Amino acid sequence: MSDPLHRFSSRATDYNKYRPDYPPAAIEFILKQSRLNQNDSVADVGSGTGILTKHFVNRGIQTYAIEPNDDMRRFAEISLSANPNFHSIKGTSDNTKLEDQSINAITVAQAFHWFEVIKTKNEFKRILKDGSTVYLLWNSRRHDKPILMDYENLTLKFSTEYSHINHLRPEVEENIVKLFEPNEVTYLEFPNDQELTFDELLGRIRSSSYMLNSSDKRYPEMVEAYKAFFEKYQKDGKITIPHITDVYYGQIG
């Protein structure tokens, strides 16, 4: 499997443009559950192109976007650097470069599965203020719909690593428990369907690190396969991909 630090470097543009956002209800939950206000600070770790980061920045909260990948981090800096609440840091989950006990909440969106859990846990404990909460978020496709059974089959056909990454899910769940233990972790989910044109669907597919990119000789075959998929399910020129946003949260033990 390719290096987690660099695997999105060639996909940052598509990632920034086509990845689903996070639902307002999930953002409001985090703000209220942690009682965040403009005197507080959030660390968004593995912040990527700033898809989650912007929600805290735009609410006046001091937000530290921790991202090791230069290409991904650049998109957040372009769109958010004019806001004084935004602070971009080239760092990792186990070396955030933040001060001790300086953070009121930590968020991790679409990134925790790349972290080394014990080193990350120690770093999170170091930077968090007492009683603060960590939130792990993923936008996940619902697999109980016929459209996503077809989508899954195409992903398996044209992916370079998807089956391997899928096999890591039990390990990720174990690491979530390890991050918070001996404390409990709580799970919530929020509806977050994504509506896409065909071009947007193709961009969404290209944004995934495990999918073929445009330089692969099988890429034209993949495009035709997804075009047939799109035509099967589209309505008025758009397709709806059923998603939920998973949120795991708790205090670090």
Q: Is the pLDDT of residue 10 over 70?
A: no
Report residue 253's pLDDT band, with 50, 70 and 90 as the boundaries: confident
Average pLDDT over residues 127-134: 97
- CB atoms closer than 10 angstroms to residue 244: 18
Report residue 7's pLDDT band, with 50, 70 and 90 as the boundaries: very low
Average pLDDT over residues 159-188: 80
> pLDDT value at position 161?
67
Give a three-class secondary structure readout of 19-49.
CCCCCHHHHHHHHHHCCCCCCCEEEEECCCC
> pLDDT value at position 233?
97
> pLDDT value at position 18?
87
Q: What is the pLDDT of residues 43-68, one digit of tens each?
A: 999 999 999 999 999 999 999 999 99
- Beta-bridged to residue 89, according to DSSP, are 66
Q: Are 135 and 248 in contact (CB under 8 A)?
A: yes
Pick from 130, 131, 128, 148: nearest CA to 140: 148
Question: Any idea which of 18-27, 104-113, 137-146, 195-204 has the lowest mean pLDDT?
Answer: 137-146
Question: Any idea which of 4-8, 13-17, 138-142 has the lowest mean pLDDT?
Answer: 4-8
> pLDDT value at position 166?
52
Q: What is the pLDDT of residues 212-225, one digit of tens each?
A: 888 889 999 999 99
> pLDDT value at position 59?
95
* Residue with more model confidence, 210 or 131: 131
> pLDDT value at position 172?
87
> pLDDT value at position 9?
43
> pLDDT value at position 169?
63
> Please, what sign has the CA dihedral across residues 90, 93, 22, 37?
negative
Tell me which DSSP letter residue 11 carries. Answer: G
Angle between helices 117-127 and 169-180 (to 10 degrees): 30
Q: Is the pLDDT of residue 153 over 70?
A: yes
Average pLDDT over residues 23-47: 97
> pLDDT value at position 163?
52
CA distance 176 to 151: 27
Give the chain's domains with CATH numbers: 9-142+166-193+244-250 (3.40.50.150)
Q: What is the pLDDT of residues 118-129, one digit of tens each?
A: 999 999 999 999
Question: In the numeric block, which tokens belong to residue 61?
Answer: 């909260």
> pLDDT value at position 95?
98
> pLDDT value at position 167?
44
Pick from 61, 101, 64, 70: nearest CA to 8: 70
